[in-house]
Chains A and B, each alone.
Chain A
Amino acid sequence: MIKQEKIYEDLFPLLRRVRIIFILVVALFIFLIMNFWKVQVLDHVKYWERSEANRMREIALPYQRGLIMDREGTILANNRASFRVSLIRENCEDYDKSCRKIARLLNIEESVLKERIRKYESMPLFKPIVVKEDLTLEEVAMIESRKLELPELVLQSEPKRFYPFKSLAAHVIGYLQELSPEEMKKNLYGERRLGELVGKIGIEKQYETALVGIHGLLVEVVDSLGRGREEIDRRESAKGQDLTVSLDFDMQKEAEELLQGREGAIIAMDARTGELLALASYPNFDPNKFINRFTSEEWLNLVTSPEFPLENRAIRGLYSPGSVFKLTVALGALDSEIVTDETTFVCRGETTIYNHPFSCWREGGHGKVGFYDAIRHSCNIYFYNLGKELGIENISRYARMLGFGLKTGIDLPGEKTGLVPDPQWKIKARGEPWQKGETISVSIGQSFMLVTPIQIAAHTALIANRGARVTPHLFKYLSADGKKIESKNQFLKHEIVDINPAVFEQVIQGMWEAVNNEGTGRAAKILGFDVCGKTGSTQVISEDKSEEPEKKESEEEEEEEVKTHSWFTGFAPRENPEIVVTVIVEYGGMGGATAAPLARRLFNIYLRKNDR
Chain B
Amino acid sequence: MIDRSLLRHIDWILVGLLLLNSFIGVAFIYSSSHYLPGNYFLKQILWIFIGSIALFLFLTVDYKILVTFSPYFYIVAVATLGGVLLFGRLVAGAKSWLKFSFLQFQPSELMKLALILLLASVFSKFRRDSISWKKGLLSGALTAVPVLFVALQPDLGTALTYIPLFLAALILAGMNRKVFISIVIAALVLGVAGWNFALKDYQKTRLTTLISPSQDPLGSGYHILQSKIAIGSGGFLGKGFRKGTQSQLRFLPARHTDFIFSVIGEEFGFMGVIVALMCYFLFLNRLFKSVGLARDRAGVYIVFLVAVMISFQFFINVLMVVGILPITGTPLPLLSYGGSSLLTNFLGVSLVLNVKMRRFVFV
Contacts and interface: CB of A to CB of B under 8 A. Distances in A.
A8 B295 contact: yes
Query: 5 closest pairs, A vs B, by CB?
Result: A47-B232, A51-B233, A40-B270, A44-B235, A22-B288
A35 B297 CA distance: 37
A9 interface: yes
Nearest to A11: B300
Contact of B292 (A15, A21, A47): A15
Interface stretch (B43-51, B77-85, B132-140, B241-249): B241-249
A51 B245 contact: yes
A47 B231 contact: yes
A111 to B, nearest CB: 25
Contacts of A545: none
Given A44-B233, A47-B233, A126-B249, A17 B228 contact: no
B274 A17 contact: no
A13 B131 CA distance: 13
B315 interface: yes
B284 A17 contact: no
Contact of B311 (A11, A17, A25, A56): A25
A25 B288 contact: yes
Contacts of B359: 6
Contacts of B232: 39-40, 43-44, 46-48, 50-51
A41 B235 contact: yes
Contacts of B174: 13-14, 17
Given A14-B297, A21-B304, A51-B232, 15 more contacts: A2-B363, A4-B360, A14-B304, A15-B300, A18-B292, A18-B304, A25-B288, A32-B322, A36-B274, A37-B270, A39-B231, A47-B233, A54-B229, A55-B251, A185-B37
Interface residues on B, range: 35 or more
Interface in B321-363: 322-324, 359-363
B229 A40 contact: no
B217 to A, nearest CB: 11
Interface residues of A, number: 44
Given A21-B171, A41-B235, A6 B361 contact: yes
Interface of B: 35, 37, 127, 129, 168, 171-172, 174, 228-236, 245-246, 248-251, 265, 269-270, 273-274, 277, 281, 284-285, 288, 291-292, 294-297, 300, 304, 308, 311, 315, 318-319, 322-324, 359-363
A4 B233 contact: no
A123 B129 CA distance: 62
B270 A51 contact: no
A272 B358 CA distance: 85
A198 B215 CA distance: 30
Contact of B322 (A7, A25, A36): A36
A559 interface: no
B175 to A, nearest CB: 9
Contact of A40 (B235, B246, B288): B235
A39 B228 contact: yes
Contacts of B285: 22
28 contacts: A4-B361, A5-B361, A6-B295, A7-B295, A9-B297, A13-B174, A14-B304, A15-B292, A21-B308, A25-B311, A28-B315, A32-B319, A33-B273, A36-B231, A36-B270, A36-B273, A36-B322, A37-B270, A40-B231, A40-B235, A43-B232, A44-B233, A47-B232, A50-B229, A50-B233, A51-B230, A52-B245, A181-B37
A425 interface: no
Nearest to A24: B311
B229 A51 contact: yes
A6 B277 contact: no
A373 B325 CA distance: 92
A122 interface: yes
Given A9-B296, A46-B232, A55-B249, A35 B35 contact: no
Contacts of A8: 295-296
Contact of A56 (B35, B129, B234, B251): B251
Residue among A17, A55, A126, A181 with the most chain B CB within 10 A?
A17
A383 B86 CA distance: 62
A295 to B, nearest CB: 27
Given A4-B361, A55-B251, A126-B249, A39 B288 contact: no
